A and B are shown apart, each in its own frame.
Chain A
Amino acid sequence: MADQFRDHRPSGDVRDRRGFLAGFLALACGGLATLAPLAAGLWAFLDPLRRKRGAASFLPVTELSAVPADGVPRQFAVIAERVDAWTGFAAEPIGAVYLRREKGSDTVEALSATCPHAGCFVEIEPTGRCFRCPCHSSEFTLDGGIVAPSPSPRPMDALECRVAKNGEIEVQWQKFRAGVAGKVVQ
């Protein structure tokens, strides 16, 4: 079988100019053809990066009388409309906040219940003395400060909170990046 190659190299050998061109064209054509579905796939796959979270709005949470001025944080569900890809949800619980009023104060402080460490739901310790995250045991004081030593990179995230004249408490519902020292909106 090797005798047919005795006198000259077979056509299409990339070591000569014509062969090189053929090889290059082959790769280019095959590459372009393969690139099309990959590019289409990646383009669609990267869709979430284009979608930015909407501007954070103030959502009514509860009424002033539900937050006694005793320094004790209380958990409230945050109710809002929600869009999840193709589904639109009417008002339903989307998360939770802690609201707290200092003794003798009329201003309400709001803390996000999402732990800044890895995103778990922070709870109040059974004795009521501090917040505690059940995932990796970060602890926070009742106003959200870190209780050292805790794995959390920063204190609990405070949320903008305002009280309307009729006593309704509104909280600016936002999410922040977990695991970083700075409070960065996600």
Chain B
Amino acid sequence: MSVPDRRPRGLLGGLADFLDDRTGYRAVLHEALYERVPGGARWRYVWGSTLVFAFMTQVITGLFLWASYSASAQTAWESVYYIQHEMTGGWLLRGIHHFMAQAMVVLLALHLLQVVIDGAYRAPREVNFWLGLVLMTLVLGMALTGYLLPWDQKGYWATIVATNLAGIVPGIGPALQQLVIGGTEYGHHTLTRFFALHAGFLPGALVLMLVVHLALFRKHGLHAKRPFTKPDALFWPDQVLKDAVAMLAVMAVVLGVILVPAIRAMVAGEPVHPGHLGAELGAPADPSLPYAAARPEWYFLFLFQFLKVFEGWGATGEFLGAIVVPGLIMGVMFLMPIVGRWNLGHRFNVAFTLGIIAGAGLLTALALHEDYYALWVDKASLAEAQKLFDETGGDEAKLAATLGGDEAKLAAIEKQWETLEKVRHSQAFLDASRQARLDAARAIELAGRPEKIPPAGMLELVRTDAQSQGPRLFAQHCASCHAHVDPRAPGAEAILAKSSAANLFEFGRASWMRGLLDPGQVAGPGYFGNTAHKGGDMVNFVKDDLTDADEWKRDDIEAVIAALSAEAGLADSGVPPAVLEKGRALVADGGRCGGCHTLGDNGTDLGSAPDLTGWGSREWLVGIITDPTHERFYGDSNDRMPSFGKAAEGAAPLLTPAQIGLLADWLRGQWYRP
């Protein structure tokens, strides 16, 4: 009971007395603030407080994010895009939430380390230690559930892995997985359930446990680390000061991570886009697309790497790596207060904790090393091995044959081939990561259109975007024959050599037409060289007729090039109309191109050569992709190109009209630009 304070009271003092008499707050405050800290305030005690601070930050930022987030498969990515790129301060709010989550993982490790090393789990603090382990699991659960909420590719695929692993828990696994993803497919209910977990169930449980954890901590008092080098202190203000400085440091680090890219850009004199600061947002989740850049957040990389350790162990291995070993480790940690009763037991606990953290660190480093290997390997030293690999197709028998009897060299090259394989795998990851960033940037660009995102959501926009879909469709359906590469780029020659149809880079533009009408290129790999027409009429015309300076002046050829690329209807080239007129007349002339080619109503029938009316226009390209065997195009002299838009009786065509349209738009460079 407090001693009544009989000093004369002013207005505030009177108010305080009134409140204290009704609520007893002074006693509570005294109890909270004036706890004794034996041995003085120390930095090693700050971690628990920084964790509470971090959690408070997450609650505050989380609530404000909640006021802007929408958890459904058609609105999640979209609402997060809005927060990040259009709301004032949204990028900062989201950035703090994202990076403070990562800071919490580090703080958890530090707090655990301090508690174990100082033996603060021993009687009577066992229950509190167990509560702490439960709290740690809850925090990690929140990190996992939060990662899905933007519904981007990286969150989506990471969740597929995590929920599939949950599915191999014995007995309840499949049911557990179905409950967590909301059915048999990933969709709306996966998001709503994960969000309910992330913002409701888990933080609710966490707060309850935290209250008990703190109450028990106060009940038992701080377990001070001996030897004492300083006199006892009080929690307030000495320990609170250290705690507060640590909190500020954590906040500064988080803000620094968010703002450093901005500061760097400002120093370099580059523009700063607030929307590109802080947490990144990947391309919208798409279950039908591969995502080779799939990785969990860095603090789960050790688990990811750990699964690879069990290669060759089959289902047992996966069960061991995902369920048993992590479970056993948690089990050992729960037993620490019991084991720690003996001195040797305590030393085991410390060694075990340090070992786990070191092991996790090592696995993380291994994961990063594997993924980024291609960046620090000296490719020049592998050049010979690469050449041999290309020549022999990686066949070791062929390699032995090529090298004759040189055993030492064979062993050396085979070892280098192993290195090359690691480089290939790493490069695949790096390429996929680069592509993922490009896809993300394009999605964000599209979302910022004046028309904004349609009600069906972002995927609809991405799937109808020629810039995104063109390369994929081309790679899948056209690239087995056609190249699409800048002939001046390094490595283009090798690609062109392998093609068996024209290079379609800049098709429709004057540059492409100029190459076709160049006697040095028309029979090359970029045009007819690898096709059935390499000795045909067009090639002969270019080589014989166009080189005849009496027949064709340079100006004439340029006029033809301008006129034909004008048929494509792409951007105005600035060529004077008179030149275009002259070019059209030359093309239509029955004694020149018009002898075989139709252009408008020049009197030439279709069938002897592709129609040049609207050459390179969207309509023309759609026509030739749909059916190159049509008399308007190559007719019976079509080489090997399939009719992508025409199908056999009752069957579906190889490509839908929408897909052909996307290809045509992409080839013509026609897509949304901000």
Beta-carbon contact of A181 and B314 below 8 Å: yes
Q: How far is the CA of A75 from the CA of B475 in the complex (A)?
A: 11
Selected contact of B651 from candidates A78, A126, A168, CB within 8 Å:
A168
B602-653, CB < 8 A from A: 642, 647-653
Tell yes or no: A77 within 8 A of B by CB.
yes
Inside 8 A of A134's CB, which chain B residues have their CB? 290-294, 428-429, 432
Please give the distance in Å from A179's CB to the nearest CB on chain B: 4
Q: In the complex, what residue of chain B is closest to A164 when comparing beta carbons?
A: B651
Q: Could you tell me if A151 and B310 are in contact, using CB atoms closer than 8 angstroms? A: yes
Q: Is B425 an interface residue (CB 8 A)?
A: yes
**Interchain CB contact under 8 A, B183 and A137:** no
Give B145 Cβ to nearest chain A Cβ, in Å: 15
Instruction: Give Cα A127 to B392, complex, Å.
Output: 12
Question: Which of B129-137, B239-247, B315-323, B350-358 contacts its partner?
Answer: B315-323
Q: Which residues of B contact A127 (CB under 8 A)?
A: 394, 424
Given that A121-B290, A150-B311 are known contacts, is A48 also in contact with B179, CB under 8 Å in the complex?
A: yes
Q: How far is the CB of A162 from chain B (nearest CB, A)?
A: 13
Q: Interface readout for A149-186 with B: 1 if CB under 8 Å, 0 if not?
A: 11101100000000010111000000101111100001
A166 to B322, CA, bound (A): 47
Q: Which residue of B lies closest to A76 (CB)?
A: B476
**Chain A 78-131 interface residues, beta-carbon cutoff 8 Å to B:** 78, 82, 84-87, 92-96, 113, 117-121, 123, 125-127, 129
Is the CB–CB distance between B425 and A137 below 8 Å? yes
Distance, CA A65 to CA B652, complexed state (A):
12
B288 touches A181 (CB 8 A): no
Chain A residues in 8 Å Cβ range of B650: 164, 166, 168
Residue tally, chain B, CB below 8 Å to A: 63
Q: Are A85 and B175 in contact (CB under 8 A)?
A: no
Find chain A residues with CB under 8 A from B187 CB.
Answer: 84-85
Chain B residues whose C-beta falls within 8 Å of the C-beta of A125 in the assembled complex: 424, 428
Whether B290 and A119, one on each chain, are in contact in the complex, defined by CB atoms closer than 8 angstroms, is no
Complex Cα gap A136–B311 (Å):
9
Contact B318 A151 (CB under 8 A): yes
Which A residues lie within 8 Å of B647 (CB)?
A: 63
B167 / chain A contacts, CB cutoff of 8 Å: 177-179
Decide if A75 touches B476 in the complex (CB within 8 Å): yes
B178, A118: Cβ atoms closer than 8 Å: no
| Complex Cα gap A129–B421 (Å) | 12
**Chain A residues whose CB sits within 8 angstroms of the CB of B178 once the complex forms:** 48-49
With both beta carbons as reference points, the residue of chain A lying nearest to B314 in the complex is identified as A153
Any chain A CB within 8 A of the CB of B312? Answer: yes
* Residue numbers in A under 8 Å from B289 (CB-CB): 93, 96, 121
Whether B165 is near chain A, meaning CB under 8 Å from some CB there, is yes
Question: Using an 8 Å CB-CB cutoff, how does the interface string of B12-33 with A read, 1 for contact, 0 for none?
Answer: 0000000000000000000000
Q: How far is the CB of B645 from chain A (nearest CB, A)?
A: 12
Q: If A136-B307, A137-B308, A179-B315 touch, does A77 touch B288 (CB 8 Å cutoff)?
A: yes
Given A127-B394, A179-B167, A180-B168, the answer on whether A87 and B73 have CB atoms closer than 8 Å is: yes
Min CB distance, A129 to chain B, in Å? 6
Is B44 an interface residue when CB atoms closer than 8 A count as contact?
no
Instruction: State A60–B656 Cα separation when bound (angstroms).
Output: 13
| Contacts A66-B477, A118-B318, A125-B428 known; 16 new A-B pairs at CB < 8 A | A51-B184, A74-B476, A75-B476, A84-B187, A87-B74, A92-B463, A96-B289, A121-B289, A123-B290, A126-B427, A134-B429, A136-B308, A137-B308, A166-B649, A178-B168, A179-B168
CB<8 Å pairs between A and B, sample of 30: A48-B182, A48-B189, A49-B175, A52-B184, A63-B653, A63-B654, A66-B642, A66-B654, A75-B476, A78-B288, A93-B463, A94-B287, A117-B307, A117-B318, A121-B157, A121-B290, A127-B424, A134-B291, A136-B307, A137-B311, A148-B312, A150-B311, A151-B311, A151-B318, A164-B650, A179-B164, A179-B319, A179-B322, A180-B315, A186-B184
- Chain A interface (Cβ < 8 Å from any Cβ of B): 45-46, 48-49, 51-53, 60, 62-63, 65-66, 74-75, 77-78, 82, 84-87, 92-96, 113, 117-121, 123, 125-127, 129, 132, 134-138, 148-151, 153-154, 164, 166-168, 175, 177-181, 186
Interface residues of chain B, those whose CB is within 8 Å of chain A, are 73-74, 157, 160-161, 164-165, 167-168, 174-175, 178-179, 181-185, 187-189, 286-294, 304, 307-308, 310-315, 317-319, 321-322, 394, 424-425, 427-429, 432, 463, 476-477, 642, 647-654
